[in-house]
Chain A
Amino acid sequence: MAATLTSGLTARQSAQTPQQRLERLYRSSRDDVYAYVAALLRDRQLAEDVTAIAFERAFRRRGLFDARRGTERTWLFGIARNAALDELRRRTRHSPHPVLDQHESTPAHEDAVIGRTLLQQAIVGVSPRERELIALKFHAGLSNKEIARVIGVSESNVGTALHRTITKLRKACDEDG
Chain B
Amino acid sequence: MRTARNEKLSTAAVRELEAIDATLRGESVDREHARLVALVHELQESRAQPAREFVQTLDARAARGFDREAGAQERLAGRPPRVKPGRRPARAKRPPRPLLAAGLAAALALSVAVPLAVSGHKAATARVAQAPAQTESATTLTRRAPARAANTFDTKGPATTSTPQAAEPSSGPASAAAAGGSGSTAAAAAPRQVERSTTLALGVAPNAIQSTSQQVFTLVSGFGGYVRQSNVSAGSSGQGGASFDLRVPSANLSNALAALSHLGRVRSENDTTNDVTEQFDSLRGSLADLQAERSSLLKQLAASSQAQQEATLKDRLRAVETHISELRGQLNALRNRVDYTSVALTLTAEAAVASKQGDLTPGGAARDAGQVLQDAFAVLVIAAAASVPIGALGLLAWVALSSTRRRAREQALDTSA
Residues of A participating in the B interface, judged by any CB pair closer than 8 Å = 19, 23, 26, 30-31, 34-35, 38-40, 44-53, 55-61, 82-83, 85-92, 94, 96-97, 100-101, 103-105, 115-116, 119-120, 123, 127-129, 132-134, 137-139, 141, 143-144, 151-154, 156-164, 166, 169-170, 173
Q: Is B50 an interface residue (CB 8 A)?
A: yes
User: What is the chain A residue whose CB lies nearest that of B3?
Assistant: A129
Q: What are 23 of the A-B contact pairs (CB < 8 Å)? A: A34-B48, A47-B50, A48-B51, A48-B82, A50-B90, A53-B91, A57-B95, A85-B412, A85-B413, A88-B412, A88-B416, A89-B408, A103-B45, A105-B45, A119-B46, A128-B417, A129-B414, A138-B40, A156-B6, A157-B1, A159-B9, A162-B20, A169-B43
B90–A49 touching, CB < 8 Å: yes
Residues of A within 8 A of B413 (CB): 40, 85, 88, 128-129, 132
* Shortest CB distance B223–A (Å): 60
Residues of B within 8 A of A153 (CB): 1-2, 4
Residues of A within 8 A of B46 (CB): 103, 116, 119-120, 123, 138-139
Q: List 5 A-B pairs, minimum CB-CB distance, nearest first.
A: A85-B409, A38-B48, A138-B43, A59-B66, A88-B412
Other than the given A115-B42, A166-B39, 12 more pairs (CB < 8 A) read A31-B49, A44-B51, A50-B90, A52-B71, A56-B66, A83-B90, A90-B88, A127-B417, A128-B413, A134-B43, A138-B46, A160-B6
Residues of B within 8 A of A96 (CB): 416
Residues of A within 8 A of B39 (CB): 119, 166, 169-170, 173
* Shortest CB distance B402–A (Å): 11
* Shortest CB distance B1–A (Å): 5
Residues of A within 8 A of B24 (CB): 137-138, 141
A35–B20 touching, CB < 8 Å: no
Residues of A within 8 A of B108 (CB): none
Q: Is B30 an interface residue (CB 8 A)?
A: no
* Shortest CB distance B405–A (Å): 9
Which of the residues B20, B45, B50, B414 comes within 8 Å of A128, measured between beta carbons?
B414
A45–B82 touching, CB < 8 Å: yes
User: What is the chain B residue whose CB lies nearest that of A61?
Assistant: B95
Q: How far is the CA of A81 from the CA of B184 in the complex (A)?
A: 87
Q: How far is the CA of A46 from the CA of B4 in the complex (A)?
A: 28
A129–B1 touching, CB < 8 Å: yes
B44–A170 touching, CB < 8 Å: no
Residues of B participating in the A interface, judged by any CB pair closer than 8 Å = 1-7, 9, 13-14, 16-17, 20-21, 24, 35-36, 39-40, 42-51, 54-55, 58-59, 61-62, 65-66, 68, 71, 82-84, 86-93, 95, 408-410, 412-417
B92–A57 touching, CB < 8 Å: yes
* Shortest CB distance A137–B (Å): 8
Residues of A within 8 A of B84 (CB): 97
Q: How far is the CA of A158 from the CA of B21 in the complex (A)?
A: 13
* Shortest CB distance B345–A (Å): 58
Interface of A is mostly: helix
User: What is the chain B residue whose CB lies nearest that of A23?
Assistant: B62
User: What is the chain A residue whose CB lies nearest that of B93?
Assistant: A86
Residues of A within 8 A of B5 (CB): 157, 160
A162–B17 touching, CB < 8 Å: yes
Residues of A within 8 A of B91 (CB): 53
User: What is the chain B residue whose CB lies nearest that of A124?
Assistant: B417
Q: How far is the CA of A35 from the CA of B90 in the complex (A)?
A: 18
Which of the residues B4, B47, B48, B61 comes within 8 Å of A160, measured between beta carbons?
B4
Residues of A within 8 A of B42 (CB): 115-116, 119
User: What is the chain B residue whose CB lies nearest that of A85?
Assistant: B409
* Shortest CB distance B38–A (Å): 8
Q: How far is the CA of A143 from the CA of B17 in the complex (A)?
A: 11
* Shortest CB distance A126–B (Å): 9
Residues of A within 8 A of B13 (CB): 163
Residues of B within 8 A of A82 (CB): 409
A89–B409 touching, CB < 8 Å: yes
A49–B47 touching, CB < 8 Å: no
Which of the residues A51, A91, A170 comes within 8 Å of B58, measured between beta carbons?
A51
* Shortest CB distance B71–A (Å): 6
User: What is the chain A residue whose CB lies nearest that of B57?
Assistant: A52
A163–B82 touching, CB < 8 Å: no
Residues of B within 8 A of A133 (CB): 1
The answer to whether residues A60 and B45 also contact, given A86-B409, A159-B17 and a CB cut-off of 8 A, is no
* Shortest CB distance B76–A (Å): 13
A128–B95 touching, CB < 8 Å: no
A139–B1 touching, CB < 8 Å: no
Q: How far is the CA of A86 from the CA of B409 in the complex (A)?
A: 6
Residues of A within 8 A of B6 (CB): 154, 156-157, 160
A139–B48 touching, CB < 8 Å: yes
Q: How far is the CA of A160 from the CA of B92 in the complex (A)?
A: 34
